[in-house]
Amino acid sequence: MQNKIYILALAIVMITAFSCKKQEDLSIDKIDNGEVSFSPLEVGNYWIYEVSLMDKTGQLTFVEIDSTYIVGTKDFNGNTYYEYNSSTSATYKQYLRDSASYLIDEKGEKFFYHKNNADTIEEQKIEAFGYLISHIYRVIYHHDELVKCVAGDFPAIEARYTIEFPLISTKTTSYNFYSLDIGLILRADAADVNGNRNIFSMMRWGKAE
């Protein structure tokens, strides 16, 4: 058991180091003209979310209102990214751009891609001493049903992000739903050890004028 704990700790260090060193694949071209967008990128765009805590029974408890907005741009590796800030966290920053229809950050992580159902757009496996330590992957799902958020019901595509640690039989999954020309309308974070997860449900959104 102690060996498994040691290997798991080593995996966490390796995952952190890999995430810090990873860079965007510069061979991916920028978004094609005329492509649709599931995350409108323009300075001044904003999304307002009702944040709730959902327990393991599905009961929701209101927490706060969050405003996420694009404040400007920044260049990394010769490409321009849009900077996202949040009203509920002074330290939150995220940098994203469209790259051949992928929504991608400055480290090269792919967050979304709308074209193919059941498409694995991001995957990492770490093995050590003959063990599979961790398996991380993000899969895209197309749904026929509308997705409900505070603002209403919308057609949306899901990006499901899973982290597995097979040695301790642990798996966490988060869910993000994107709607055409709107962006992220619903987000369900991975559950904590008590089975609670944060839910971000879009109330309204706006585009820069």
CA distance 4 to 132: 11
Three-state SS at 195: coil
Q: pLDDT tens for residues 124-149?
A: 999 999 999 999 999 999 999 999 99
Other CB atoms within a 10 A radius of the CB of residue 190 amount to 14
Specify which residues 172 forms β-bridges with. 163
Per-residue pLDDT band at 208 (split at 50, 70, 90): confident
Which range of residues forms the domain containing residue 110? Answer: 2-206
User: Is residue 54 over pLDDT 60?
Assistant: yes
pLDDT confidence bin for 35, thresholds 50/70/90:
low
Tell me the whole-structure pTM to 2 decimals: 0.83
* CATH number for the domain that contains residue 26: 2.40.360
Half-sphere exposure of 13 (CA within 13 A, CB side): 7
143: how many CB neighbours lie within 10 A of its CB?
12
Measured CA to CA, the distance from residue 204 to residue 209 in angstroms comes to: 16
Total tally of structural domains belonging to the chain: 1
CA 111, CA 168: separation in Å to the nearest integer? Answer: 27
Give the pLDDT confidence score for residue 207 in this predicted structure. 85
- The pLDDT value given to residue 84: 97
Q: Give the tens place of pLDDT for each residue, 159-173.
A: 999 999 999 999 999
What the block records as the tokens of 86 is 């949040």
